[in-house]
Structure 1
Amino acid sequence: MSLYRNAIWFLNGIHQYTRKGYEAAFKDFEPQDLDVSVVGRSFMITGANSGIGRATAMAIAKKGGTVHMVCRNKDKAEEARVDITSESGNTEVYIHIVDMSETRKVWEFAEAFKKQYPALNVLINNAGCMVHKRELNTEGLEKNFATNTMGVYILTESLIPLLQKSRDPRVITVSSGGMLVQKLRVDDLQSEKGDFDAVMVYAQNKRQQVVLTQQWAKAYPLIHFSAMHPGWADTPAVSTSMPQFHQMMGERLRSAEQGADTVVWLALSRAAARTCGGQFFQDRTPVPAHLPLAWTHSSAEEIQSFMTQLETLARAIGHNLM
């Protein structure tokens, strides 16, 4: 079954996830969807100093939004902020230094942010990682899971009260089409069983994000939740974590701006706000979260187990999120 999933996914990817796939989809975009000003609206973007996060921050700054860049590296963040403010002419761009793999620090940051700022209109969970050997963070969580799933869970859950008080609140999570090859493994969330394959661990984390998005949309209907696949984009993260894939695809990869397009559309457009919450998007269009006949759906009991495990893990490291 995994061979079938991988084959179907890769064939779909060659047609849809590449630069040509974006160019084909672009023909059906409505240009006026992004003909908006978002002056006075605030946006938090994790992993905002490079790749898709940086392209998203730039696009939002150009539309007048207040941008909160959540980054791990202070020097790279400051360099990106200078470029964004210079090119956009928007000085409402702020840096917050947070390592998304350190879950306690993520929670502390979110709690401090709520006290300092009266509103947050849009949260964009973009930061991610692909660590190729099994490593643990200071709380004993596997690092990919800590960054891609628990960091997203804790930041989002902590900021939901602030989002609920804000006008037209939205949460967008940058997932991956790679999640289509994975079924949610509720008995092994941190990839402790079997061989450690970083690409599959990453895909599992991205499946976890999509399930989270679906559950949040049901639990908090006043907030518009969505997940998206940016396609195969030429970003520093891809070249570092998947060098062979990066080299093989070469010029077929999308630009970071093309990868960020759907994030920006989901964050800014009125059209996105009119879509049903909890969906998985690709090139501004909701697409199925499962491949045909791939048997990746989860039961209600499995999903409840997943959500309970996340809450338990959060509480175990001292986070009272509820």
Structure 2
Amino acid sequence: MSLYRNSAWFLKGVTEFTRNAFLAASKQFVEKDLEVSVAGRSFLITGANSGIGKATAMAIAKRGGTVHMVCRNKDKAEEARADIVKETGNKEVYVHILDLSETKKVWEFAEAFKRKYKALNVLINNAGSIMSQRDVNVEGLEKSFAVNVLGVYILTKSLIPLLEKSADPRVITVSSGGMLVQKLRIGNLQSDRGRYDGTMVYAQHKRQQVVMTEQLAKTHTNIHFSVMHPGWVDTPAVANAMPDFHRSMKDSLRTPEQGADTVVWLAVSEAAAKNPSGRFYQDRKMVSTHLPLAWTHSSPLEEQKLVSLLDDLAKTFQPH
């Protein structure tokens, strides 16, 4: 079964996830969708100092938005901020330092952000982590789960009250087409059983992000939630985590700007907000979250259970 899934996924990838596939898809894009000013609107972007995150921050700053860059490395963040300000002339770009793998600190950051700022229109969960071997954070949680799933859940849940008070609120999570080879598994959230395969653990986390988005959209109906696949993008993260894939596919990979296109579209366009909440996107289109005949569907009960497990875990680390 997994051989079928992997083969079907790779075939889909070669036809839909490459740079050429983006160029073909972009012929159908409506140009005026992105011809908008977002002056007066604020956007929080995690992992905003390189790759898709930086390209997204740049595109939003160009359109006049206030950008909150949430990054782990202060020097890289300040350097990226200087680039963005210089290129766009927009000085409303702010750096916040946070390591999303430190669960308590995610809560603390979100609570402090709510106290300091009166509005947040759009949250973009872009930061991600692929580990080559299993590692745990100071709280004993598997690190990539802490970043990719629990950190995203805590940041989103904690900022929901601020989003709900703001005009046209949206939450966009950058997932991955890799999730198509994974069925939701809630019995091994910490990846502490069986062999640790970092790429598959990451794909599982990306499936969890899709389910989480669908569930949050049902509960918080006045926020527009979406999750997206940027395609195969040439980013530092891909080069470091999957060197063989990066080497063999380098000439076919998308630029960070091409990878960020649907994120920006979901964040700023009127067209995106007219679509139902909680859906999965690729190249500005709603697409299925499952490969045909891949048996990756899960029951509504399992999907609700994921959110309830995340809720319980999140509360464990909530500052009192």
TM-score by length of 1: 0.98
| Residues in 2 aligned to 1:197 and 1:25: alpha-carbon distance in whole angstroms | 32
Q: Residues 24-103 of structure 1 correspond to what in structure 2 (within 5 A)?
A: 24-103=24-103
Report the counterpart of residue 224 of structure 1 in structure 2. Answer: 224
| Residues in 1 aligned to 2:289 and 2:216: alpha-carbon distance in whole angstroms | 16
CA displacement at 1:319 relative to structure 2: 5.0
Report the counterpart of residue 3 of structure 2 in structure 1. Answer: 3
310-319 vs 169-178, which moves further? 310-319
SS at 1:239 equivalent: helix
| Residues in 1 aligned to 2:40 and 2:304: alpha-carbon distance in whole angstroms | 38
* Structure 2 letter corresponding to 1:101: S
CA displacement at 1:318 relative to structure 2: 3.2
Please state if 1:107 is matched with 2:138. Answer: no
Contact 2:55 2:257 in 1 (8 A): yes
SS at 2:28 equivalent: coil
Report the counterpart of residue 210 of structure 2 in structure 1. Answer: 210
* Structure 2 letter corresponding to 1:45: I
Instruction: Give aligned-pair identity as a percent.
Output: 67
CA displacement at 1:192 relative to structure 2: 1.5
Q: Residues 1-322 of structure 1 correspond to what in structure 2 (within 5 A)?
A: 1-318=1-318
Deviations 1:219-271 (A, max 9, x none): 00100000000000001111111111100001100000000000000000000
| Residues in 2 aligned to 1:181 and 1:317: alpha-carbon distance in whole angstroms | 31
Please, which runs of 5 or more residues in structure 1 have no aligned partner? none
| Residues in 1 aligned to 2:216 and 2:312: alpha-carbon distance in whole angstroms | 17
Q: Give the paired residue count.
A: 320
228-237 vs 302-311, which moves further? 302-311
| Residues in 1 aligned to 2:304 and 2:265: alpha-carbon distance in whole angstroms | 31
Runs of 4+ with deviation above 4 angstroms: none
SS at 2:314 equivalent: helix
Deviations 1:81-114 (A, max 9, x none): 0000000000000000000111110110000000
- Cα distance change of structure 1 residues 43 and 256 upon mapping to structure 2, 3 Å threshold: same
Deviations 1:181-220 (A, max 9, x none): 0011011112122100000000000000000000011000
